[in-house]
């Protein structure tokens, strides 16, 4: 039972972080530059790969898809832990895949993000690893 609780906690953290990030992407100024002229310039300039979009539209899209990935992880692993825990904890594929995802977020958080989401990722990773250890015990 403790393994399930830890896995659900890990998943819930990522679901919450992703949901808040998605809201911040589309509502309010939290993910806009402090310098309004930078946002204007980002809206005018295209990336080298294509002229079909702007850096600002890429910024919004990357933030939204990033949020949706965290939410998908939280929803899928939370669901599996609650409804199909025996499948989840007996599948090396699912456990390693989840570990790689959270570990990737951990590395990105350490290198590129600020402290609040990084702490959340650290706690999610700790709960995830503890859930696997508890399931093996």
The residues, any chain, with a CB within 8 Å of residue 100's CB and separated by 6 or more, are: none
**What is the per-residue pLDDT across 2-46, written as a single tens digit (0 to 9) for each?**
999 999 999 999 999 999 999 999 999 999 999 999 999 999 999
pLDDT at residue 116 in the model: 94
Q: Which residue has the tokens 């995802």?
A: 101
For residue 90, what is the DSSP state?
T
Whether the pTM exceeds 0.85: the reply is: yes
| Farthest CA pair distance, the chain | 57
3-state secondary structure of 80: helix
Number of neighbours of residue 38 by Cβ within 10 angstroms = 13
3-state class percentages of the chain: helix first, strand second, coil last, to nearest 5: 80, 0, 20
**What is the per-residue pLDDT across 65-119, written as a single tens digit (0 to 9) for each?**
999 999 999 999 999 999 999 999 999 999 999 999 999 999 999 999 999 999 9
């Amino acid at each position: 039972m403790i393994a399930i609780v830890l896995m659900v906690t890990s998943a819930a953290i990522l679901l919450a972080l992703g949901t808040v990030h998605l809201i911040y992407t589309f509502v309010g100024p939290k993910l806009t530059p402090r310098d309004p002229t930078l946002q204007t310039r980002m809206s005018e300039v295209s990336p080298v790969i294509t002229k079909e979009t702007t850096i600002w539209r890429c910024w919004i899209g990357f933030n939204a898809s990033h949020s949706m990935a965290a939410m998908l992880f939280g929803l899928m692993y939370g669901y599996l832990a609650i409804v199909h825990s025996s499948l989840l904890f007996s599948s090396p594929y699912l456990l390693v895949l989840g570990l790689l995802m959270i570990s990737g977020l951990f590395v990105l958080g350490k290198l590129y993000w600020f402290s609040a989401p990084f702490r959340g990722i650290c706690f999610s990773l700790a709960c995830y690893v503890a859930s696997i250890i508890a399931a093996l015990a």
